[in-house]
């Protein structure tokens, strides 16, 4: 898919946190050259790792916008109004503005930017760093299907990239953004169970990590429903069904569903109301 990208496409990031780094690292294996990527942050604390990738860094958000065609706004949600107010006058019809700020709606973004701006709301997750992310995006009123295709191609190497209605973005945050941490907690618990039964901690953690990785790949690549794969592991009276019984007694299924619900609700709470912005 990346073959359709302009080799001279200029990409910018406002914000240098983990999400920006994950996306930046993910797009470089494609046709985006490091010298065509610029990242800004108010301090130098997180910029060194971008420089190690050959990416240009700056403290000027305006410099990023002026020198880029696709701009990822990767700052904390409460900083979005001030950042967009700062760069608003430099945004043109040639820009695609992509926000990865949790909870900030397309309506808010469009209100803060010049009229007819092409805006996309994107929710990636941390495994973008290893090109195994799960990303969902929604297009704003003035973002064309071509802009969506551009973003899909640009992010192709980051992992699974899907488009959907904005209503799904907060759900995706709870499912995949926060869900990564839920999987880590489960992996930690798996290893601790093995330690309890007498296995050395380092070995238990290594085997737990590989178990999660292998199970995930099999689930993704087989196309089978999780319940089907689970049933294939179980044998009558065997070890797995006894373990699954213990998990059901502990309420694992309900707890995970509640965790996704809680994270989704919180993502919605982070949403900002459309602010009165002066278009420039």
Annotated binding site for NADPH: 61
Phi first, then psi: give them for residue 27, nearest 5 degrees: -85, -15
Q: Helices in the chain by DSSP H: which ranges?
A: 18-27, 48-51, 61-66, 80-87, 106-112, 145-154, 167-172, 179-196, 201-222, 226-233, 239-249, 252-269
Query: Distance between CA atoms of 123 and 77, rounded to whole angstroms?
Result: 13
Annotated binding site for NADP(+): 14-19, 74-77
Q: Does residue 77 contact residue 101 with C-beta atoms inside 8 Å?
A: yes
Cα–Cα distance list, 101 to 38, 79, 237, 245 (Å): 19, 9, 48, 40
DSSP assignment of 110-162 equals: HHHS-TT-EEEEEE--GGGGGT-EEEEEEE-TT--HHHHHHHHHHTGGGEEEE
Annotated binding site: 14-19, 61, 74-77
């Amino acid at each position: 898919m990346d073959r359709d990208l302009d080799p001279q496409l200029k990409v910018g990031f406002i914000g240098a946190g983990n999400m920006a780094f994950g996306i930046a690292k993910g797009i470089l294996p494609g046709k985006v050259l490091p010298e065509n990527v610029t990242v800004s942050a108010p301090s130098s604390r997180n910029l060194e790792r971008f420089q190690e990738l050959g990416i240009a860094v700056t403290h000027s958000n305006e410099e990023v916008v002026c020198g880029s065609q696709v701009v990822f706004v990767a700052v904390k949600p409460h900083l979005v109004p001030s950042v967009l107010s700062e760069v608003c006058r430099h945004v043109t019809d040639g820009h695609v503005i992509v926000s990865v700020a949790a909870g900030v709606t397309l309506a808010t973004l469009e209100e803060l930017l010049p009229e007819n701006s092409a805006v996309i709301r994107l929710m990636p997750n941390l495994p973008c760093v290893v090109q195994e992310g799960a990303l969902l995006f929604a297009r704003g009123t003035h973002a064309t299907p071509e802009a969506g295709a551009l973003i899909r191609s640009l992010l192709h190497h980051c992992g699974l990239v899907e488009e959907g209605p904005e209503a799904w973005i907060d759900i995706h945050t709870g499912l995949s953004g926060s869900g990564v941490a839920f999987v880590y907690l489960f992996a930690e618990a798996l290893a601790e169970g093995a330690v309890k039964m007498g296995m050395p901690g380092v070995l238990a953690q290594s085997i737990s990590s590989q178990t999660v990785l292998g199970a995930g790949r099999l689930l993704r690549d087989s196309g089978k429903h999780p319940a089907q794969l689970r049933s294939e592991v179980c044998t009558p009276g065997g070890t797995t069904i006894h373990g699954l019984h213990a998990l059901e007694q502990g309420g694992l299924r309900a707890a995970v569903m509640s965790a996704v619900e809680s994270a989704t609700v919180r993502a919605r709470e982070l949403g900002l109301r459309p602010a009165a912005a002066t278009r420039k």
